[in-house]
Amino acid sequence: MNLLRKLADQTTEGSLSSKFRSRRIDAFLNHCISIGAGLNIADVGGTLYHWKDHLDKLEGMRLTLINIEDEEEDMPAGFSRIKADARDLGFISDGEFDVAYSNSVIEHFLTFEEQKKVAAHIRRIAKNYYVQTPNYNFPVEPHFIFPFFQMLPLPVKRSLLKTFSLGWYEKQKDDSSAERLAVSIRLLKLKELVELFPGCRISREKFFLMNKSFTAYN
């Protein structure tokens, strides 16, 4: 399990996760080139850390990080931030951005109804979107780093989380905290992602011929 965690740790240079993240950003930036120059991009749920190794590739672009968490670091040139919940972006005008980008964020909303709200805002605030999320059917759940964790019954998840430290989470002290954590991630199936983004195109990220994640874009 420690080996899986090391491979999945995007903060570890050379890890599988960091390589996948870098490839995703490069693919996104290539997609941006096909849209146009000097783009105004909204990163819904994004952080500065996500972009830190790619700042030189963003020349001429404006990037706004939209996140409910506080960002302590000073923003580099071309970056700005908005503290907001992705379910409640009504204050942003329709089509205000050229592209809405989101990486491994939408699965952190507890219900499909909440995910619908996030997707609707992403589609509304920008003329184009590019949304990546892990595949529900991939054998290893990427947050808990446990085989098929997403498919287990809630009581089993609760018991595992009270017994072990899994993935990026410490062992939980009681049923209540274990259940809150267990339901805090809702991975999407491909058909659900397509329902959230009607008419989208789908890019498949592969790992040993299996679909590790999907990206919906237009």
Domains and CATH numbers, the chain: 2-143+185-217 (3.40.50.150), 145-184 (no CATH)
List, for residues 12-39, the tens digit of each pLDDT value: 555 666 788 889 999 999 999 999 999 9
The alpha carbon of residue 65 and the mean position of all alpha carbons in its chain are separated, in whole angstroms, by 13
Predicted local distance difference test score (pLDDT) of residue 73: 79
Cβ-based neighbours of 217, under 8 Å, separated by 6 or more = 31, 128, 129, 130, 131, 200, 201, 203
Percent of the chain with pLDDT over 70: 92
Orientation angle between helical segments 175-182 and 154-163, nearest 10 degrees: 120
Q: What is the pLDDT of residue 2?
A: 56
pLDDT in tens, 164-199: 999 989 999 999 999 999 999 999 999 999 999 999
pLDDT tens, residue by residue, 126-147: 999 999 999 999 999 999 999 9
How far apart are alpha carbons 111 and 39 in whole angstroms? Answer: 32
- Count other C-beta atoms under 10 Å from residue 46's C-beta: 21
Q: Rounded to two decimals, what is the model's pTM?
A: 0.90
Band (pLDDT 50/70/90 cuts) for residue 215 is very high
